[in-house]
Homo-oligomer: A and B are copies of this chain.
């Protein structure tokens, strides 16, 4: 590893995983809890309470389909939902550069309020720091969140137990997946990253693509109410490629996906082809991958599709013991490995 921090260490891929293990876990991995830091799941949990913290350094602050405020609420709430939590409160930490316009701050706060109010999760505490001009891009923020066990989590786990002898997990962990489990993706991938790219300085392509940033409370509730879910994770930095590799590694299973089943908009596919990007590596902020026991995968898929944010959901593959890595059957029928990306091809998307 180099002696200084580089962009790739925060990019959600393999370099970041190594950095986290070598630095963060070496010092801070001693903690216990129901979901300790060392499990590297989407949130932590202790004494039945879920805690999540995410900093947002997205650039630019306003983009098609959202802004740093709506993104922050969605991102933090989704990470609490992903392990089986019900978000109940948020904490907002603002770090603002001197000279930042109050009018922009006003828009961002309004957006935080609207997004949080829609899902009934209040901001109950916070903190504001102002730093000198030039010290920051302009504004970054931290959104932390508090959750409790989801009211349908125990029901969901009971359903899993009926079909799976010896299953005894209390949360939806990355390590819960067994061969045969089906993998659902809740809608089109890549929209968020491409929407951001489309408004970056110097980038200009014809594509009316909006960020998908949205809290997934309703969709997750529908899935857990049906029951049979063993794991959930949102494909943010590093995209679906990183997510599936984390699942594969932590659950000790292979994962096989089918290219033709993965929902990707033509517009996103075109931009990716033009720029040489892999849509599987693009970050999303309003999607979830959901691993379900095979017996109930179709029912969970049906339930998810009833929710507006899940109407384009698809089963894209399954866990398998044929491989111990992630592999994709391509549209032309070949097989290719899907390695974890080194970093995120588009930096500062969240």
Contact = CB atoms under 8 A, between A and B. Distances in A.
Contacts of A9: 96, 128, 130
Interface in A81-98: 88-89, 91-98
A126 interface: yes
Contacts of A23: 102, 105-106, 109
A335 interface: no
A36 interface: yes
A54 interface: yes
Contacts of A106: 23, 27
A165 interface: no
Contacts of A201: none
A92 B53 contact: yes
Nearest to A348: B131
A337 interface: no
Query: How many chain copies?
Result: 2
A303 to B, nearest CB: 28
Interface size class of A (residues with CB under 8 A): 35 or more
Contact of A1 (B2, B10, B102, B144): B102
Contacts of A140: 95, 129, 131, 140
Residue in A51, A137, A146 whose Cβ sees the most chain B Cβ within 10 Å: A51
Interface in A134-183: 134-137, 140, 142, 144, 146, 148
Contacts of A130: 5-11
A20 interface: yes
A184 to B, nearest CB: 25
Given A27-B110, A44-B89, 20 more contacts: A4-B102, A5-B130, A6-B130, A7-B132, A8-B130, A10-B128, A10-B131, A24-B126, A28-B109, A28-B122, A31-B123, A44-B125, A45-B124, A46-B124, A47-B88, A53-B91, A53-B125, A93-B142, A135-B136, A136-B136
